[in-house]
Amino acid sequence: MVLAGDSSTVALSQDHPRGSGTVDSELMMRVAASENKGHMKRFGTVTALAVGIGLGCVTAGAICVMPSPVWAKEIVFVARDLEDQQAVWLPRDIIIRRSTDFTDPLIFRLDNPTARTHVFEAPGLYELIEESGAQIARPVRITIAPEESEQIVVDRNRVTHEALAGSNGTITYRFYCPLHRADPDSGGSIAVEQ
């Protein structure tokens, strides 16, 4: 008599201690465990395969549905309250290189985690907005409500033109919160270099 399992074969012969054709319970339990183990391996393999295929389909579907990425250089400014009702935008000093940072759109994200309204003003810089189907540039002066964020696209063409017109190819723009500054030097600067 031969009982076959997945990973091993158990043979019962005529010289079994209990006699021919008699299968003891211990041996049957081992055979059953062997068969069950094989089924569990198969179940685990099939389950892993199904999960893998499912994840593959979801990933492929998400890639097909997602719009193509638009690369951009994003600079994040965060408002911070100071003593005596003053405020600053951090980081205070930014260096932008036209050769590398202007290959993609330049985006400023303005975060205001404070309890007061702040304004981000940068004289000389312009943001691009769409109005009545046309793209126009307007000076950067953005009001951000408490615990809100705004995002703007900076007009790179004007910045490039002004930087090229400068004597050494570098131009510096100041930025600040005009609502909460005590002196003109409390703001930051954006230097645009070659």
* Domain ranges in the chain with CATH number 2.60.40.420: 73-193
pLDDT digits (tens, 9 = 90+) for 27-83: 455 555 555 555 454 445 555 544 455 544 444 444 333 333 445 689 999 999 988
In whole angstroms, give the CA distance from residue 186 to residue 149.
22
Three-class SS of the chain: CEEECCCCEEECCCCCCCCCCCCCHHHHHHHHHHHHHHHHHHHHHHHHHHHHHHHHHHHHHHHHHCCCCCCCEEEEEEEEECCCCCEEEECCEEEEEHHHHCCCCEEEEEEECCCCCEEEEEEEEEEEEEECCEEEEEEEEEEECCCEEEEEEECHHHHHHHHHHCCCCCEEEEEECCCCCCCHHHCEEEEEEC
Cβ neighbours, 10 Å, residue 128: 17
Tens digits of residue pLDDT in 166-188:
667 788 999 999 988 756 567 89
Confidence at residue 9, expressed as pLDDT on a 0 to 100 scale: 35
pTM of the model: 0.60
The CATH class that applies to domain 73-193 reads: mainly beta
Least confident span in 41-55, 84-98, 108-122, 129-143: 41-55
| pLDDT (0 to 100) of residue 119 | 95
Mean pLDDT, the chain, integer: 73
> pLDDT digit string (tens) for 2-38?
444 443 333 333 444 444 444 454 545 555 555 555 5
Burial classification of residue 79, based on how many CB atoms lie within 10 Å of its CB (0-12 exposed, 13-18 middle, 19 or more buried): buried
